[in-house]
């Protein structure tokens, strides 16, 4: 079976949905479609379906270009969402086609509504030019008349440095936007300005339909069955492949906790022949999902493997708790060193929170048993 990989593609820029007042049915439908779109993006279901379709499409074909594959992925995504909307509305194909052509809401959900990218960029470019001129004027005025403010000179210089940092990057950022959208030319990742304020963030390829790429720093987390984070690694630079992260994590845990690790589980991105051999040599049960479909069928016969894979599913929830509840979205820490320090404190506080909840549950159960006796 072909191991198809979704190629990241540019997400269309949708038009702004009109505001409809006084129509409860429209608001309900809009809310339903918005939530369904969110679920498709975040659950990974759309990515899995597109990957299956891509495997079918590539089977028996000669090597295709990246552009041809991206076009097929876009059409498959639109077809999936059109079918979902048609069945939700209980319409036949002809009625839905007419409805879709006349409904900005359905076009938005199905990924068919696109604003004029070049026209929008030119308008944005004009606004950026105006803002730049204002910023330069205010910057020079602050530099010359800082004594009329409540700031000291060092405080004023701190603000001036921040303004200069943005002003120096604006010409390059505008040039890259013109190159990417107006001229249709790709910008190498190493040259891209991803943030005007954070220089040490990177492009993270997710290979997901709703979020093909993300921007930031990679954070590796490992948890035990009770939900305690027992290992983590923050990457200020680009992170290595997932398969290279597993032996690093196992080595750190064996050093920190002595060699008591009995089993390890992870998704298929962490699988490799070297990792299979390494876990076997260490006497650690291999619960990592294999890349090979044939191996997966064989491993699925084991109750222990299935149990570990089922337990692994809750790790996504743990990541969401750490990211959204403890770290904050977005994380309010500037610079890679400060973000790494924030992660260290977050892991400590998170584990204390988990242990406190475990103790509270144990005390509540003991009190219930005592009352029942």
- pLDDT tens for 160-180 read 999 999 999 999 988 888 887
Q: Is the pLDDT of residue 373 over 50?
A: yes
- What are the structure tokens assigned to 156, written together? 């004023």
* pLDDT for the residue numbered 271: 93
Confidence band of 63 (pLDDT split at 50, 70, 90): confident
Q: Whole-number mean pLDDT of the chain?
A: 86
Q: Are 1 and 293 in contact (CB under 8 A)?
A: yes
Confidence band of 114 (pLDDT split at 50, 70, 90): low
- pLDDT tens for 323-340 read 888 888 777 788 888 889
How far lies 246's CA from each of 56, 133, 139, 186, in Å? 31, 50, 49, 33
- What are the structure tokens assigned to 157, written together? 């210089």
Question: Domain locations in the chain?
Answer: 24-110, 117-185, 217-357
The span from the CA of 296 to the CA of 363, in Å, is 41
Please state which CATH class domain 217-357 belongs to: alpha beta
* pLDDT for the residue numbered 136: 94
Q: Is the pLDDT of residue 261 over 90?
A: no
- What are the structure tokens assigned to 271, written together? 């699988």
* Bond preceding residue 330 cis, omega within 30 of 0: yes
Q: Is the pLDDT of residue 14 over 90?
A: no
* pLDDT for the residue numbered 1: 46
- What are the structure tokens assigned to 338, written together? 């400060």
Confidence band of 257 (pLDDT split at 50, 70, 90): confident
- What are the structure tokens assigned to 229, written together? 């984070």
* pLDDT for the residue numbered 212: 58
- pLDDT tens for 70-113 read 888 889 999 999 999 999 999 999 999 999 998 989 988 998 87
* pLDDT for the residue numbered 280: 92
In a 13 Å sphere around the CA of 68, the CA atoms on its Cβ side amount to 7
- Taking the CA atoms of 223, 256, 262 and 293 in sequence, report the sign of the dihedral they define: positive
Percent of the chain at pLDDT above 90?
39
* pLDDT for the residue numbered 159: 93
- What are the structure tokens assigned to 346, written together? 């977050």
Confidence band of 230 (pLDDT split at 50, 70, 90): very high
Bridge partners of residue 222, in order along the sequence: 231
Question: Over the range 255-272, which residues count as b (16 or more CB within 10 Å of their CB) and which as e?
Answer: eeeeeebebbbbeeebbb
**First-to-last C-alpha distance (Å) of the chain:** 60
- What are the structure tokens assigned to 176, written together? 């890259």
Residue 268 is classified by DSSP as G
Question: Over the range 11-36, which residues count as b (16 or more CB within 10 Å of their CB) and which as e?
Answer: eeeeeeeeeeeeeeeeeebbeebeee
Confidence band of 5 (pLDDT split at 50, 70, 90): low
The span from the CA of 6 to the CA of 34, in Å, is 24
* pLDDT for the residue numbered 314: 80
* pLDDT for the residue numbered 8: 61
- pLDDT tens for 33-46 read 989 988 887 777 88
353 vs 184: which has the higher pLDDT: 353
The span from the CA of 29 to the CA of 48, in Å, is 26
Confidence band of 148 (pLDDT split at 50, 70, 90): very high
Confidence band of 120 (pLDDT split at 50, 70, 90): confident
Helical (H) or strand (E) element with 139: helix 117-145
The span from the CA of 287 to the CA of 282, in Å, is 14
Cα R_g (the chain), whole angstroms: 26
The span from the CA of 104 to the CA of 114, in Å, is 10
- pLDDT tens for 195-210 read 888 877 777 766 555 5
């Amino acid at each position: 079976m072909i191991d198809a990989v979704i190629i990241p593609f540019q997400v269309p820029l949708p038009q702004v949905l009109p505001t409809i007042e006084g129509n409860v049915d429209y608001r309900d439908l809009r809310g339903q479609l918005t939530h369904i779109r969110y679920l498709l993006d975040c659950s990974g279901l759309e990515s899995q379906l597109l990957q299956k379709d891509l495997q079918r499409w590539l089977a028996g074909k000669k090597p295709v270009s990246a552009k041809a594959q991206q076009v097929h992925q876009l059409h498959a995504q639109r077809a999936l969402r059109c079918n979902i909307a048609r069945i939700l509305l209980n319409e036949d194909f002809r009625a839905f086609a007419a409805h879709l052509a006349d409904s900005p809401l359905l076009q938005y959900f199905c990924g068919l509504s696109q604003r004029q990218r070049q026209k929008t960029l030119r308008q944005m470019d004009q606004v950026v030019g105006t803002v730049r001129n204002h910023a330069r004027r205010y910057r020079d005025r602050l530099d010359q008349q800082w004594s009329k403010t409540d700031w000291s000179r060092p405080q004023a210089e701190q603000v001036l440095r921040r303004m200069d940092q943005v002003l120096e990057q604006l010409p390059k950022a505008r040039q890259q936007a013109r190159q990417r959208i107006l001229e249709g030319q790709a910008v190498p990742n190493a040259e891209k300005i991803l943030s005007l304020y954070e220089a040490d963030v990177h492009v993270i390829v997710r290979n997901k339909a709703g979020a093909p790429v993300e921007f930031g720093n990679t954070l590796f987390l490992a948890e035990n069955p009770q939900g305690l984070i027992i290992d983590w690694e923050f990457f200020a630079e680009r992170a290595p492949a997932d398969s290279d992260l597993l032996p690093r994590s196992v080595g750190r845990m064996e050093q920190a906790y002595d060699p008591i690790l009995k089993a390890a589980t992870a998704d298929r991105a962490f699988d490799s022949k070297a990792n299979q051999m390494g876990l076997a040599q260490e006497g650690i049960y291999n619960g990592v999902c294999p890349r090979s479909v044939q191996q997966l069928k064989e491993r699925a016969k084991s109750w222990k493997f299935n149990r570990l894979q089922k337990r692994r599913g809750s790790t996504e929830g743990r990541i969401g708790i750490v990211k959204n509840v403890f770290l904050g979205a977005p994380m309010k820490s500037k610079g890679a060193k400060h973000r790494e320090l924030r992660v260290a404190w977050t892991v400590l506080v998170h584990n204390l929170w988990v242990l406190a909840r475990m103790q509270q549950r144990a005390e509540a159960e003991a009190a219930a048993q005592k009352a029942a006796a």
